[in-house]
Amino acid sequence: MGLFGGTFNPIHMGHLRVAEEALRQCGLQKVIFFLTGHPPHREVAEGVPGELRYQMVCLAVKGRPGMEVSRLELDCSGPCYTIDTVRAMSRRYPQGVAYILGADAFLGIQTWKDWQELLKSCPFIVAPRTGVPRDAFDRAPFNQADVYFLDMEEIDLSSSDIRRRYREGLPTAGLVPEAVDGFIRAQGLYGVARTGSVG
């Protein structure tokens, strides 16, 4: 089982490409998206509630084989840490779990709670990110972990850039799934003029 965590504010095509490649290259049964309700490291930009971000992820993965969404982290009353998610999902799926993340996030793993245990608790599937060279991980502590680097183009798309595009009225076509774009506009998120209701 591939565990893919994040704030997904909003989820975008880069996230979905990473999930698709992880499924294809790593022989995963499925990729489960974990939506962070109260990220320990930072506030959620623009205060978009977890419930709305959850709905966007559900819209994004609908109809995509091998992908689903979990409320495990979203429903935590306080900060929910990756190590806790990995422990819980390892118990639920004894066949094993792997954690999916971008190279930029993996580079900061030593700021995560119980990172030494986390590195030993499951394999890591790492997506390339612009500006993060592969050889950045040829050292401790990364060489102590079981790491698989996805063979794909670098992801040069970020949620912060997409939010900026919505705020400034710039084109967003192809950056997020159509259903997610419709939801953003219907809800008036990221400074967009509300267009109506969804569903």
Q: Does 123 sit behind a cis peptide bond, omega within 30 degrees of 0 on the bond before it?
A: no
Q: pLDDT for 99-135, tens place per residue?
A: 999 999 999 999 999 999 999 999 999 999 999 999 9
For 164-184, write each residue's pLDDT tens digit.
Answer: 999 999 999 999 999 999 999
Is residue 86 classed as helix, strand or coil in its secondary structure? helix
Cis peptide before 94 (omega within 30 of 0): no
pTM attached to this predicted model: 0.91
Q: Which of the four pLDDT bands, split at 50, 70 and 90, describes residue 8? A: very high
pLDDT at position 39 is 60
> Is 3.40.50.620 the CATH classification of the domain at 2-157?
yes
Contact 122, 97 (CB under 8 A): yes
Interval 19-74: pLDDT, tens: 999 999 999 999 999 998 766 555 555 678 899 999 999 999 999 999 999 999 99
> What mean pLDDT comes out for the span 148-171?
94
Does the structure show a pLDDT above 90 at 11? yes
Q: What is the domain partition of the chain in residue ranges?
A: 2-157
* Bridge partners of residue 33, in order along the sequence: 4, 69
d(CA 37, CA 26): 28
